[in-house]
């Protein structure tokens, strides 16, 4: 599916006609999908003109793939999209938890430089902090790879 569709240009907003061309669906189908998929909420301006952002274009392509290529019903595609959104939310939560833990790395580094008299942190704690940072960076690179494949 993705190979047949044109690449998405680097723009902030897309009109409904542009999105239709980028995703291979007609504008009336996009308006219908907005009613069926609550995750799809383009910004509306004067005269109810719709403006879609990059992530919404990707979402529409995913919906199109589920419906047209994988043979899902609207209801099945809606459930699948909800599962995907829940998974993304969980990933973000886990990423935020990792980032929350990373705030202490600077303190660990400072403690290692200052020596054991400044804090009761051991070299093991500092090493664990660096291992956690490496792990976080690896997860970010994996997420980036997965996002480009989607």
Instruction: Please report whether residue 95 resides in a domain.
Output: no
Cα 17 to Cα 40, 43, 128, distances in angstroms: 16, 14, 52
SS (H, E, C) 76-102: HHHHHHHHHHHHHHHHHHHHHHHHHHH
Same domain membership, residue 111 and residue 80? no
Same domain membership, residue 8 and residue 65? yes
For the stretch 94-128, pLDDT in tens is: 775 555 555 555 554 454 445 554 444 455 566 67
Cα dihedral 82, 144, 18, 77 in deg (nearest 10): -20
Same domain membership, residue 21 and residue 77? yes
Sign of the CA dihedral running 95, 96, 97, 102 = positive
Phi/psi of residue 78, nearest 5 degrees: -60, -45
Among residues 9, 4, 91, which one has the least CA distance to residue 57? 9
Instruction: Please report whether residue 93 resides in a domain.
Output: no
What's the pTM value of the predicted model, to 2 decimals?
Answer: 0.59
Instruction: Please report whether residue 92 resides in a domain.
Output: no
* Residues whose CB is less than 8 angstroms from the CB of residue 20 and which lie 6 or more positions away in sequence, other chains included: 26, 27, 29, 30
Give the residue from 37, 54, 86 where a domain finishes.
Answer: 86
Same domain membership, residue 130 and residue 56? no
How many structural domains is the chain composed of?
A: 2
Instruction: Please report whether residue 124 resides in a domain.
Output: yes
Give residue 36's pLDDT.
Answer: 95
Give residue 108's pLDDT.
Answer: 47
Which structural domain, as residue segments, surrounds residue 114? 103-150
For the chain, which ranges sit under pLDDT 70? Answer: 1-3, 96-127, 149-150
């Amino acid at each position: 599916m993705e190979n047949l569709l044109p690449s998405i240009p680097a723009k902030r907003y897309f009109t409904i006609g542009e999105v239709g061309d980028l995703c291979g669906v007609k504008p009336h189908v996009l308006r219908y999908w907005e009613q069926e998929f609550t995750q799809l909420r383009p910004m509306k301006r004067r005269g109810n003109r719709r403006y879609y952002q990059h992530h919404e274009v990707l979402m529409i392509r995913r919906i199109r793939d589920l419906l047209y290529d994988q043979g899902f019903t609207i209801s099945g595609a809606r459930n699948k999209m909800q599962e995907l959104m829940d998974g993304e939310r969980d990933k973000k939560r886990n990423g935020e938890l990792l980032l929350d833990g990373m705030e202490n790395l600077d303190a660990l580094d400072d403690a290692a430089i200052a020596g054991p008299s400044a804090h009761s942190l051991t070299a093991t704690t500092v090493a664990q902090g660096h291992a956690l940072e490496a792990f976080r960076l690896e997860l970010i690179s994996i997420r980036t790879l997965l996002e480009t494949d989607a």
